[in-house]
Amino acid sequence: MSLGADLLALQDLDLELERTTKELQELPILSELAKKRATYAKLKSESTKILARRKDAEIAVGDLDDAERSCHEKIAGIQNKQATLTDYRSVQDLEIELSLLAKRLDKIAFDRPAAEKSLEDIKQKEDQLTGYIKRFEQAILSDAKTAREEAEVLQGRIEASRQKRERLASKLPADTLQKYEQTSRRFKGIAVERLEGKIPSVCRTVLQTASMDQLRHASDIAECPYCHRILVLNEGE
Ligand SMILES: [Zn+2]
């Protein structure tokens, strides 16, 4: 291949490398995965909150159980004492105490359904959330696998292009390669243009007769008098 053809091939490889690298960085599944991970983090924090609410609801029901047990114990104690008492005042005191305990038991019985319903509701929500989180974990795992596979394909392509580029670059004279790389940086990757008739393929400025005459004396490549890119005059095999 001519020097000009090599330079054009090098530019094609560089552009392809840039495209593929960008494609790899912007894989749609990666942003999808990032979104899912963010949602997952929210779900986990929701799950921490609901766990705390469930514990509170359990404590509320537990407190009712304790209070009820304590009332029953007291009642049993009083009933034992009653059997041994004979004087009226003491019996009356115990009866007042018994009636207070009965009221307390009524209150506990009244509060219980709401406390139990609340615990039941929270448990149900917790179960739903746990199931949802589990499905999310599965989806994230499967997306991560797909992302890895898609990335591997692109990385393979990048690696192959890189090797080709290395081989091609090592064939070029050092000063030509240096000029290409400088020009490429300056023109964001489009360093080389072809001369098509009198018109360079990138800047599209028709060359004057004087410029054409000068170029006739050049070898395979020259510098475009207008945009200063590398101008390929001869691409011949
Ligand atoms: Zn030009």
For residue 154, the model assigns a pLDDT of 97
* Mean pLDDT (the chain, rounded): 94
Non-local (6+) Cβ contacts of 132 within 8 A are 43
Say whether pLDDT at 169 is over 80.
yes
Residue 224: phi, psi to the nearest 5?
-65, 125
CA of residue 150 to ligand 1 center, whole Å: 38
CA of residue 8 to ligand 1 center, whole Å: 14
Non-local (6+) Cβ contacts of 7 within 8 A are 172, 176, 180, 191, 192, 221, 230, 232
Tokens of 179: 């000029």
CA of residue 225 to ligand 1 center, whole Å: 7
* Residues 27 and 151: beta-carbon distance below 8 Å: yes
CA of residue 186 to ligand 1 center, whole Å: 13
CA of residue 209 to ligand 1 center, whole Å: 15
Rounded to whole angstroms, how far apart are CA atoms 21 and 15? 10
CA of residue 10 to ligand 1 center, whole Å: 18
- Evaluate the CA torsion angle 79, 80, 83, 87 in order and state its sign: negative
Rounded to whole angstroms, how far apart are CA atoms 31 and 38? 11
Tell me what the mean pLDDT of segment 182-192 comes to: 96
Tokens of 150: 């898609």
CA of residue 130 to ligand 1 center, whole Å: 64
pLDDT in tens, 37-58: 999 999 999 999 999 999 999 9
Say whether pLDDT at 237 is over 60.
no
Categorize the per-residue pLDDT at 88 as very low, low, confident or very high, splitting at 50, 70 and 90.
confident
CA of residue 205 to ligand 1 center, whole Å: 7
Non-local (6+) Cβ contacts of 3 within 8 A are 172, 173, 176, 219, 220, 221
pLDDT in tens, 111-162: 999 999 999 999 999 999 999 999 999 999 999 999 999 999 999 999 999 9
CA of residue 111 to ligand 1 center, whole Å: 87
Q: What is the value of pTM for the model shown?
A: 0.70
